Amino acid sequence: MADRKAQKKRRLELEAKIKAGQVGGAFPKSDEAWKAWLKKNTGTKLLKDGSRQQVWKTGESKGEAFDATKGKDLWRQDYYGTKTPMQDLKYLKQLDRDELKIDRLRSNKLRTAASQKDWEGKSLHQLEVDQLEEKLAKEAEELKVGSSYETPTDQLKVNPERKDYKIPGEFKGTQEEFEAKYGVSSEEVVPKKYDQNRANNLDNKVDNSETNYVDLAGGNNAFNDPANQTNGTSTRERLTAREKMRAQNVERFGGGEAGEWHVSKLEERNQAFQDAKGGGKEAMAEFRKDYGENLGSYLRNEKLKIDPKKKKKVNVNKSKVA
């Protein structure tokens, strides 16, 4: 129960931080914060061949070539308090929706009273709610993978057949200590192939001076674009058809955090509608109250929450009497 209270509090904090970072329209505060972080933690190094390279000027890697992926993770950790803000928010929202849905169904006295009994005398309605709760819990576990709430055993629970698991962070200790802590062999979680590839990537320091250089005044926008920052690995083969369609929708609505916000709002409203459909007139009335009469009005209201200065224009001519 204490964990759920902490998770609900964290969801409100994270949602507020993400909304605050989106204020500014084409020049959101989060972009300004990212540029300020780059200016503080990176600098330009002139190489012997006359080319320039962006390097770390803080931390353990001081003077070494700047790793954009690592840098973005560190910035998100500083700015949002997590390296995976969107995935964390999606997971926490799903927990809240599931909890609300189960509570409504379980506390429905009319359905419980009208429900038939099973062979042991138990309410079939309550048994069906138990099954639904278990199903929703498994779906939430899938969203948990890839978030900051993930543990080394979560991927094993979601897909026991997979062998390409990665530990979030590095475990400092022996294999016996790892097994005692997580209840699973480290060889099952992180295969030797992944360890070897990771070691090769750390040792393989490519110069790429021309592409690594960033003009902090804004001369190299392609580098500053998070969509262009990768660690050299491809995830296209792992995307499902649903994930590909979602990524296309994110790009369709502006890409980046703005597109992610738009798609997340569409998903949130649709999920709330699906939950309200089975709850009768009262549930639908509550849905319209929280999410508006239509999608357009809902999105406009959500944008006003982000930037309350944007108010509807009033046509003065209409108020004049002929």
Asked whether residue 245 falls in the same domain as residue 303, the answer is yes
Residue 33: is its pLDDT beyond 70?
yes
Name which residue leads in pLDDT, 317 or 25. 25
Asked whether residue 141 falls in the same domain as residue 172, the answer is no
Asked whether residue 160 falls in the same domain as residue 196, the answer is yes
Question: 162: closest CA among 189, 135, 197, 192?
Answer: 189
Note whether residue 315 is domain-resident: no
Residue 256: is its pLDDT beyond 60?
yes
Please give the pLDDT value at position 285.
81
pTM above 0.85, yes or no: no
Please give the pLDDT value at position 259.
80
Asked whether residue 305 falls in the same domain as residue 245, the answer is yes
Asked whether residue 132 falls in the same domain as residue 163, the answer is no
Note whether residue 196 is domain-resident: yes
Note whether residue 131 is domain-resident: yes
Whether 252 contacts 260, CB under 8 Å: no
Asked whether residue 175 falls in the same domain as residue 143, the answer is no
Note whether residue 1 is domain-resident: no
- Rounded distance between C-alpha atoms, residue 245 and residue 258, angstroms: 17
Q: How far apart are the first and last CA of the chain?
A: 64
Residue type, 197: N
Please give the pLDDT value at position 260.
85
Please give the pLDDT value at position 248.
83
Tell me what the mean pLDDT of segment 177-192 comes to. Answer: 55
Alpha helices in 220-293 (DSSP H): 221-224, 241-252, 256-277, 280-291
Helix axes 2-21 and 85-106, enclosed angle (nearest 10): 130
Note whether residue 63 is domain-resident: no
Number of folded domains that form the chain: 3
Q: Which residues pair with 123 in a beta bridge?
A: 117
Domain boundary among 120, 147, 174: 147
Name which residue leads in pLDDT, 209 or 58. 58
Note whether residue 250 is domain-resident: yes
Tell me what the mean pLDDT of segment 161-189 comes to. Answer: 55
Q: Give CA 109 to chain center in angstroms.
A: 37
Residue 219: is its pLDDT beyond 50?
no
Question: 22: closest CA among 92, 79, 94, 93?
Answer: 79
Average pLDDT, the chain: 75
Tell me what the mean pLDDT of segment 108-126 comes to. Answer: 91
Q: What are phi and psi of 44, to 5 degrees?
A: -105, 135
Name which residue leads in pLDDT, 233 or 51. 51
Q: What is the pLDDT of residues 270-292, one digit of tens each?
A: 888 887 777 777 778 888 888 88
- Rounded distance between C-alpha atoms, residue 267 and residue 302, angstroms: 14
Note whether residue 95 is domain-resident: yes
Asked whether residue 159 falls in the same domain as residue 142, the answer is no
SS (H, E, C) 23-44: CCCCCCHHHHHHHHHHHHHEEE
Tell me what the mean pLDDT of segment 217-227 comes to. Answer: 45
Q: What are phi and psi of 64, to 5 degrees?
A: -90, 165
Domain boundary among 178, 204, 230: 204
Residue 168: is its pLDDT beyond 50?
no
Name which residue leads in pLDDT, 18 or 269. 18
Q: Where are the beta strands (DSSP E) in the chain?
A: 42-46, 52-56
Please give the pLDDT value at position 244.
81
Domain boundary among 119, 147, 175: 147
pLDDT band at 44 (very low <50, low <70, confident <90, very high): very high
Please give the pLDDT value at position 26.
80
Residue 227: is its pLDDT beyond 50?
no
Whether 22 contacts 257, CB under 8 Å: yes
Asked whether residue 141 falls in the same domain as residue 162, the answer is no
Please give the pLDDT value at position 316.
43
The parent domain of residue 91 ranges over: 84-147
| Tokens 């475990």 sit on residue | 171
pLDDT band at 247 (very low <50, low <70, confident <90, very high): confident
Please give the pLDDT value at position 237.
55
- Rounded distance between C-alpha atoms, residue 322 and residue 319, angstroms: 9
| Tokens 């660690």 sit on residue | 231
Q: Give CA 322 to chain center in angstroms.
A: 55
Note whether residue 158 is domain-resident: yes
Least confident of 10-19, 247-256, 308-317: 308-317
